A and B are shown apart, each in its own frame.
Chain A
């Protein structure tokens, strides 16, 4: 089946620093990828839709200048958490539809990145 990878799997950083998370589709091309954030014992909350070759679409309440998204190729999207603070500590998960968003395909998730901001 389709595979989505993420790197790193976990990261610990100091408050005020920036952290970049990579999301790759390994065996298919994804014109659209999604970034979610999941706090402990909560559901997945969509942060933004990453669009290859164009600007990301952010959900209401998500600061686009704080969560920078770049979708430079059909297999790679990156999320940069800028000037991270302890409240940004969370589990960040990316996902992609197979075949780039066709109506009847599955959405596969990456393994997630655990971010801890000290």
Chain B
């Protein structure tokens, strides 16, 4: 089955700096890669996603890149703000596995004012 690894597990950045989180996946047939933000005690919220036919996608301060050859994808947050502090999860969907999402271990991001 699919396996997703996420690094780093914790990330502390100064407000205004950039944050980068990287994930690798194992199954080359995976075709959908979402990123979720989860605040304490709340549901994961989709912040951006990318399909396997696209190499990069950007939405304001958030961007995601996908390297299918290397089987890794990354989340980039620019001009970080204190409200960006949360846990971020990457995931991969392998259609043949019943459209299940496999999640990375999560990255706890702390943006220091």
Contact = CB atoms under 8 A, between A and B. Distances in A.
A: interface residue count bin: 20 to 34
A101 B89 contact: no
A67 interface: no
B89 A109 contact: no
A112 B43 contact: yes
Interface stretch (B13-21, B59-67, B75-83, B93-101): B93-101
B44 interface: yes
B98 A43 contact: no
A103 B95 contact: yes
Contacts of A41: 108
A92 to B, nearest CB: 11
Nearest to B36: A109
B100 A49 contact: yes
- Among A41, A44, A45, the most chain B Cβ lie within 10 Å of the Cβ of A44
B43 A111 contact: yes
Given A43-B106, A107-B34, A101 B99 contact: yes
A43 B51 CA distance: 22
Given A108-B46, A111-B42, 14 more contacts: A34-B100, A42-B105, A43-B105, A49-B100, A57-B98, A103-B32, A103-B95, A103-B99, A106-B34, A106-B46, A107-B34, A109-B36, A109-B44, A110-B43
Per CB-CB distance, the 10 closest pairs between chain A and chain B, nearest first, are A109-B43, A43-B103, A111-B43, A44-B103, A43-B105, A43-B106, A101-B99, A109-B44, A112-B43, A106-B46
